[in-house]
Structure 1
Amino acid sequence: MRHPHLTPRARTLRRNMTDAERRLWSRLRANQLAGHRFRRQHPLGPYIVDFACIESRLVVELDGGQHLDSPADARRDAWLRQHGFHVLRFWNDDALLRTDAVLEHILRTVGHAP
């Protein structure tokens, strides 16, 4: 399921995270969210997702304005759902300004994701 050619791109994305990704990662890393292990900029099939909890089959994506009604995001979400993942999408502003609310939503979902 993993595409090896994505690994170098994922490493680059990890080094160049957005402010919103950095903020959320600081609270998800090292099993801080109720012991759930998240990975950042993780390759899944033909995609690199912002954050993934593999054990709970949960993907968390942070989006800027360019993602509004994006057909590419719809295809990506459909592929992820088809492969058993639940996808949560948040706006970058929410991750930056309402971090606790975003984390609460993720925590509520992580236990119930497929």
Structure 2
Amino acid sequence: METTVTNMQNNAKKILILGVTASGKSALAFGLAKTINAEIISVDSMKVYRRMDIGTAKPPAEKQKLISYHLIDVVEPSESFSVDKFLDLTEKTVSDIQGRGKPVVAVGGTA
């Protein structure tokens, strides 16, 4: 496993973790990001909204202090927000993270 993680750290640019609700995606993403010094992008449709904390399982503040999270709490619920805007933000965020030489772990999904 150590060799695999080392290879991922040296070679991985983007890792995508998807799955059904409550399947452990967030915990896996956090552990992986911590191991390979990556930053996490949330690709969850509800975590982008500010003050929508109940039922969204946003990462707690203590985890957000250890790992950089992106695309959480970026839009007011009253704002118009589309897939197109989300994709633009995601592309910019991926570019910024990779510009710092770090891998990207994207996590989300519901069923």
Normalised TM-score (structure 2): 0.39
User: As a proportion of its length, which structure holds more helix?
Assistant: 1
User: As a proportion of its length, which structure holds more strand?
Assistant: 1
Normalised TM-score (structure 1): 0.38
